[in-house]
Structure 1
Amino acid sequence: MSRQQLKSFAFFCTLLVGAAVHADATAEDFSPQVWLNPGLYSMHFNRNKDFRENNIGFGAEVMLTDDHVLMAGSFINSDRQRSHYGLYQWRPLHWQVYGVKVGAGIAAGAFDGYPKYKDGGWFPAALPLLSVEGERLGANFALIPNIPNRMSGAVAVQVKLRVW
Structure 2
Amino acid sequence: MKRWSFGVLLLAYACGAQADVFNVIENKPLSETWLNAGFYSYHFQRDKDLNDSNPGLGAEYRFSTVASATAGRFYNSDRAYSNYLGVYYQPIQMGPLRLGAVVGGFNGYPKMRDGGWFPALIPTVSYEYQRVGVNIAIVPSYKDRLYGALSFQLKLKIFD
Q: TM-score, normalised by structure 2?
A: 0.81
Gaps of 5+ in 2: 1-24
Q: For this pair of structures, how many residues does the alignment match? A: 135
**Aligned equivalent of 1:21:** none
The aligned residue for residue 117 of structure 2 is 122
Pairing of 1:84-163 with structure 2 (within 5 A): 84-97=83-96, 102-163=97-158
Q: Percent identity?
A: 40
User: Which consecutive unaligned segments of at least 5 residues does structure 1 have?
Assistant: 1-23
Q: Deviations over 1:53-92 (max 9, x none)?
A: 1100000000001101100000000000000000111001
Does structure 1 retain, via aligned residues, the 8 Å contact 2:30–2:65?
A: no
Q: Cα RMSD between the aligned structures?
A: 1.4
Aligned counterparts of 2:121 and 2:95: Cα–Cα separation in 1: 25
Is 2:26–2:66's contact at 8 Å kept on the other side of the alignment? no
Match of 1:10 in 2: none
Spell out structure 1 runs of 4+ moving beyond 4 A: none
Quick one: distance in 2 between partners of 1:50 and 1:85? 23
Q: What TM-score, normalized by structure 1, do the two folds share?
A: 0.79
Deviation of 1:126 after TM superposition, in Å, equals 0.4
Query: 1:68 and 2:67 equivalent?
Result: yes
Partners of 1:25 and 1:78 in 2: CA distance: 36
Bigger strand share? 2
